[in-house]
Amino acid sequence: MLSKTVAELSAALDRKDVSSVELTQAYLDRIEKLNPDLNAYITVCKEQALKQAADADKQRAAGNGTPFTGIPIAHKDIFCTRDVLTTCGSRMLHNFVSPYDASVVERLQQAGAVTLGKTNMDEFAMGSSNETSYYGAVRNPWDSSRVPGGSSGGSAAAVAADLCAIATGTDTGGSIRQPASFCGITGLKPTYGRVSRFGMIAFASSLDQAGPLSKSAEDAALMMNAIAGLDSRDSTSLDHPAEDFTAHLQQSLKGLRIGLPRDHFTADLNPAVQTILQDAIKALESLGASVTEVDLPHNHLSVPAYYVVAPAEASANLSRYDGVRFGHRAENPVNLEDLYKRSRSEGFGDEVKRRIMVGTYALSAGYYDAYYKKAQKIRRLIKQDFDEAFKSVDVILGPTSPHTAFKLGEKNADPVTMYLEDIYTIAVNLAGIPGMSLPAGMLQGLPIGMQLVGPAFSEARLLNVAHQFQLNTDWHQRRPEVK
């Protein structure tokens, strides 16, 4: 039962094959058994979850259920959750209990979802392996000696290991899609502004976007129905007409035009991964799609541009953590300057400090034009490349990651090598367009993800392509043997 999708569980709840209380307790039991090894959860909300499940059973019995009523889910610990610890994977917020709910949390609760707990993540979402968390590394359910990807690694591992039915994540440079690839699940980064950032602890405000990590494209569509939409509390939220993201899942792919970026299929890509993607492309062609090559001439500049823009915005956002209002506070400060210095020095980890330093430098007098302004110009060129490509194709297909999940500790000594993990995903965030990863094959017992990218507000089309692919393949149904 726990391996079923949200759509399947919702149908089972409607048929009264199982109650939400029974389902929630089963997930809680599995979390208690497996989480000590996987470390996917930071906080488990047992009493709250069972109460919400009992309320959900009453709602379904009264005929007031939604697809999410009684469905046990997990939230990345970057989303503020009322009266629940919200740490952002950091020491800085190790004692922060939020007084309010993030918009994403609020909307899923209104839809009747049951919150099992808060999932582990890279500290302040800064990382590509989930090894920078103050609470320790998350382990990949497919191989516990490997990383689950980051920064939404806890959510991805929880979904893959059946520790929840679906989970929320955030994506600043690939932090939903890369973990989805490494853990063999489906992950969607929506168009920037499609999902409210209110109550989502900020890393890089012009890049951060919330989205689902799920067992299928259909489940991702169901969550998007619940969380997407205008929010007056978020100044970056877009006033775009509401839509049913499940409405076009069954649409034929006949006539679909798929673009393959030339610079994604080079010698830098593992040949075995390339073979898997070619097989996936053939499967889509058999469903009526046509394939052509496209150029993204400035894509190679996405990593350097990102690692100026994101740290600069992080430097500004993290300045609020000073030991005065909330979060970690140094003991017995001798004066205000000492309070600031020691609170921040003790509260932030090495990777966060590194990015604050880079960002502060890029924004400093005399360097703003040379670094931050130039990076923003490159960002515009990257967006124009995508706009030009989408004049001739409907979606762009490529690898999510150049390889499978790597070993824990393998890349910690070289931050630049770690930054290159996002080489195929970062451009999508810089352009503000939607992208998703879905399982496309296995390599030596580990999942390989395929990335689909579309123009702004094309989430429904991406989900349609992914759903049709999943109806004709079974890669998304593979589950790791976690005991």
Residues that are catalytic: 76, 151, 175
The tokens describing 28, both together, are 């809680």
DSSP single-letter state for residue 41: E
Alpha-helical (H) ranges within 232-373 are: 271-286, 302-317, 336-347, 350-363
The tokens describing 442, both together, are 């296995």
CA distance linking residue 212 with residue 104, whole number of Å: 10
Is the previous residue joined to 19 through a cis bond, with omega within 30 degrees of 0?
A: no
CA distance linking residue 187 with residue 168, whole number of Å: 9
Q: Are strands 114-119 and 72-76 parallel, antiparallel or unpaired?
A: parallel
The tokens describing 411, both together, are 């890349």
Residue with tokens 């953590």: 321
Range 13-22 contact pairs with CB under 8 angstroms and sequence separation of 24 or more:
13/60, 13/65, 13/69, 13/70, 13/71, 14/60, 14/65, 19/53, 19/57, 19/70, 20/53, 20/54, 20/56, 20/57, 20/60, 20/69, 20/70, 20/71, 20/72, 20/114, 21/50, 21/53, 21/54, 21/57
CB atoms within 10 A of CB 313: 22
Which of 193, 196, 220 shows the shortest CA–CA distance to 207? 193
Query: Do the beta carbons of residue 115 and residue 45 sit within 8 Å?
Result: yes
Instruction: Provide CB contacts within 8 A for 130, sequence distance 6+.
Output: 120, 121, 122, 137, 138, 147, 148, 149, 150, 151, 153, 154, 157, 179
CA distance linking residue 288 with residue 312, whole number of Å: 44
Residue with tokens 């990949």: 140
Q: Is the dihedral of CA 56, 58, 64, 67 positive or negative?
A: positive
